[in-house]
Homo-oligomer: A and B are copies of this chain.
Amino acid sequence: MDVDIGTIGSPTHSVVDIHTHMYPPAYVQLLESRNSIPLIRKFAGAKEPRLIILPAEAESLDKMTGSPETSHLPGRPVTTHYSSLKQKLHFMDTHKIDISVISLANPWLDFVAPEDAGETAKSINQEFSNMCAEAPGRLFFFATLPLTAPPETLLAAVGHVRSLKSCRGVILGTSGLGRGLDDPALVPVLRALAANRLTVFLHPHYGLPSEVWGPRATEEYGHVLPLALGFPMETTIAVARMYLAGVFDQVPDLRMLLAHSGGTLPFLAGRIESCVVHDGHLVREGKVGAGRRTVWQVLREQVYLDAVVYSEVGLKAAVDASGADRLMFGTDHPFFPPLGGDEQGEWESVTWNAEAVRKALGDGTDGARAVMGGNAVEVLRLREDS
């Protein structure tokens, strides 16, 4: 391969992938039982079932009649990369990844009925825990919370995941309890997570309202706009709303890991700061006085960023904003599979992110070593048993 990922940090230090997803078998069954997105659907003639999570994909599903050409099926194939632990370990070996912190992929359990959410979360998290036990020391996980469940069920779930040996945090979408992450009702949950030293991996799913992509997007631009722009913009908006609501003040020990290098937060932090201090309403409310926590402080002291940004330019900005001690390598596996189609081989998407670390921080430097694994080992306690 072009890049020997194992040596970018150091041959004697672990490479850790903190952004790597799975849909374990129980979750696949759950999605197969559904009639609206998210769902998994089998098609005659297609080798693998298809995962359909975007509204635009659901639209093309509704329009389908007869037996469509298999090259024009909506969504993406649910390969064994999504559900097979053996496949995950093979992928890790191929790319010299020592440790993976696996998480359920979006949309998690956001769609589950309140009365089912608690039990569903428990079984999914137990399944993740069991998978990790099959490769001790190599696999850890971010659990999934039953966000639609009643408050007591939700808080009990925090206790449950904390008791699972390989759990190091939770993956969280931007809807929270349904009203976003700036919802005051979510603060007790975030406090419970912080008190249990569970890192919150903030991950997008909902994107932006499809009207912003314009009339040509669905037919002509594939999934590029919602994935390339909608996802990182959603993350940025969610964190900015938390910031303006004072969540980072209210839960100062919250540890939050932001997907895709913070969406666009490193690039926009300066503009956010300028808009805050110039805002007539915030000034009148006394919210921009001395001692105010700035967006830069949140970036440098409270959040961590993954290194899934696919460019040296982006990675440098993330490092400039948060420091090399707050960035963590990730792959986003099993999304963005190899361009040539050989899913057992090397994944370019992985290589590009590793190359960005090498170019931005240098080969074998302390910074590269920290980003490729050192930070994750320390922050997520990957040398500790539980």
A155 within 8 A of B: no
Cα-based distance from A225 to B278 in the complex (angstroms): 13
Within 8 A of B (CB), among A301-322: 309-314, 316-317, 320-321
Is B271 in contact with A310, judged by CB distance below 8 angstroms? yes
Cα-based distance from A356 to B268 in the complex (angstroms): 13
Number of interface residues of A (CB under 8 A): 71
Within 8 A of B (CB), among A187-234: 208-209, 211-217, 220-225, 227-229, 232-234
Within 8 A of B (CB), among A245-278: 245, 260-261, 264, 266-278
Is A225 in contact with B245, judged by CB distance below 8 angstroms? no
Q: Which of A7-15, A38-46, A128-136, A280-288 contacts B (4 or more CB under 8 A)?
A: A280-288
Is B224 in contact with A276, judged by CB distance below 8 angstroms? yes
Is A224 in contact with B321, judged by CB distance below 8 angstroms? no
- Which of B229, B236, B279 makes the CB contact (< 8 A) with A223? B279
A111 within 8 A of B: no
Whether A268 touches B222, Cβ cut-off 8 Å, given contacts A314-B317, A320-B312, A352-B274, is no
A71 within 8 A of B: yes
Cα-based distance from A269 to B309 in the complex (angstroms): 9
Cα-based distance from A215 to B312 in the complex (angstroms): 36
Whether A244 touches B267, Cβ cut-off 8 Å, given contacts A211-B209, A339-B278, is no
In the assembled complex, which residues on chain B have CB atoms less than 8 Å from the CB atom of A381?
none
A349 within 8 A of B: yes
Is A313 in contact with B317, judged by CB distance below 8 angstroms? yes
Is A241 in contact with B270, judged by CB distance below 8 angstroms? no
In the assembled complex, which residues on chain B have CB atoms less than 8 Å from the CB atom of A222?
279-282
A43 to chain B, nearest CB (A): 14
A28 within 8 A of B: no
Within 8 A of B (CB), among A159-201: 179-180, 182
A34 within 8 A of B: no
A245 to chain B, nearest CB (A): 6
Residue of B nearest to A280 (CB): B222
Is A313 in contact with B269, judged by CB distance below 8 angstroms? yes
In the assembled complex, which residues on chain B have CB atoms less than 8 Å from the CB atom of A237?
212-213, 225, 229
Is A280 in contact with B76, judged by CB distance below 8 angstroms? yes
Cα-based distance from A17 to B113 in the complex (angstroms): 56
Residue of B nearest to A264 (CB): B264
Is A349 in contact with B271, judged by CB distance below 8 angstroms? no
Residue of B nearest to A319 (CB): B313
Residue of B nearest to A234 (CB): B212
Cα-based distance from A273 to B339 in the complex (angstroms): 13
Is B270 in contact with A313, judged by CB distance below 8 angstroms? yes
A240 within 8 A of B: yes
- Which of B221, B264, B272 makes the CB contact (< 8 A) with A268? B264
- The 4 A-B residue pairs with the shortest CB-CB distance, nearest first, are A270-B311, A222-B281, A270-B310, A228-B275
